[in-house]
Amino acid sequence: MATGAIGPGFITQTTVFTVQLGAAFAFAIVVSTLIDIAVQLNVWRVIGVSGLRAQTLGNRVAPGLGGCLAGLIFIGGAVFNIGNIAGAGLGMSALFGLGRKVGGLLSAGLAVGVFAAPRAGAALDRAVVALGVLMIGLMGYVAWVSSPPVGEAVANSVWPTQIDWLVITTLVGGTVGGYITYAGAHRLLDSGTTGPAAVDSITRYSVLGIVITAVMRCLLFLAVLGVVAGGVQLTGTNLAAQAFGAAAGDIGRRLFGLVLWAAGITSVIGAAFTSISFVTVATTSAAWRQRLTIVFIAACAVIYALIGQPPQVILIFAGAFNGLILPLGVGVLLWVAWRRRDLLGGYHYPRWLLVVGGLAWLVTLFLGLSALTGLERLAG
């Protein structure tokens, strides 16, 4: 879930918002992380305790509702995957000097290889964990060499000089919106971590996924903040690459390419797995899920090779889907927790968690509105 969230859009947004808000962006990171935890705690617990995928729960609440949710997430995942392939291609271009489309297609081929492996589930877990550790390590190095004003960032995390709620809601959508929050929850179902007896594990993993994402965002924030605070003016369409270059020279630009590629390829894997999990059922064999996932990635790669739109346009369109999907999915699962105890095997859902989830759901409604009305300003 964490490495799926840390994609090309994640890197671009974090960099742009740091340039816009400076140290005050720390407050947005803290608030959005708390909202993310509230959403994911509820989503993962309902899915994990019930042992049912989100679309199945939706159909149990109202016939056809799960199908609607599955369709939205599948389409949103496909659009995001095209953008993720584009981001991986940009990373390989910066790293090896390859053409962007060539790099994107090679990356898609590698992702297909992960799912084509004899033990695809184990290969999937090892690949995303290894790449996640690599991204955090590289980002930590760049944050260290850029010498950011850590004290100013800490002060702004509790008493900011500027607050932009649209930025906060965008961060929430990029971390737990669309398919992302379901990636880990559905992976837990496949691993057999389900039922009331697994609540402790489900809780631990759900929070850990958000914490890993927040750590990566903080490191990227500090890396860019150090560059900006040092007086470097970041302009143009690739602010993150400029920031890495300013912090660590040519090595920094190469590291940026590696980080962007790792972010893109892990997001391709996460989006593909989750999208297919929404259009298959529990009785679908692992072999068939592998085949469908490979076809899904290949189709996204072909579309990427054919379209002429730049990656940022694709990611903006996908962001709108995130904002629309999030309140629907969270609302369905909260209804199950509140009114459909029979779907939870008689599990007594904590009242405090339901209240926290309800408040977070109200935020997701605002996020959906922001996705429709505010993305043009954020992209511009």
Taking the C-alpha atoms of 354, 356, 361 and 367 in order, what is their torsion angle to the nearest 10 degrees?
-160
Q: What is the number of other CB atoms lying within 10 angstroms of the CB of residue 373?
A: 11
For the chain, what's the residue count?
380
DSSP E strand boundaries for the chain: none
Largest CA distance in the chain: 59
Read off the pLDDT of residues 255-286 as tens digits, 9 standing for 90 and up.
Answer: 888 888 888 888 888 889 889 988 888 778 88
Q: How many Cα atoms occupy the beta-carbon half-sphere of 360 within 13 Å?
A: 29
Gap between the Cα atoms of 168 and 174, Å rounded: 10
pLDDT value at residue 152: 94
The answer to whether the CB of 3 falls within 8 A of the CB of 209 is no
Mean pLDDT of 320-340: 84
pLDDT value at residue 229: 86
Q: What is the number of other CB atoms lying within 10 angstroms of the CB of residue 53?
A: 22
Q: How many Cα atoms occupy the beta-carbon half-sphere of 57 within 13 Å?
A: 31
pLDDT value at residue 207: 95
Domains of the chain, first to last: 2-379 (1.20.1740.10)
CB burial of 185-213 (b: ≥16 within 10 Å; e: otherwise) equals: bbbbbbeebbebebeeebbebbeebbebb
pLDDT value at residue 28: 92
Query: Percentage of residues in the chain with pLDDT exceeding 70?
Result: 89
Read off the pLDDT of residues 206-237 as tens digits, 9 standing for 90 and up.
Answer: 999 999 999 999 999 998 999 888 887 877 66
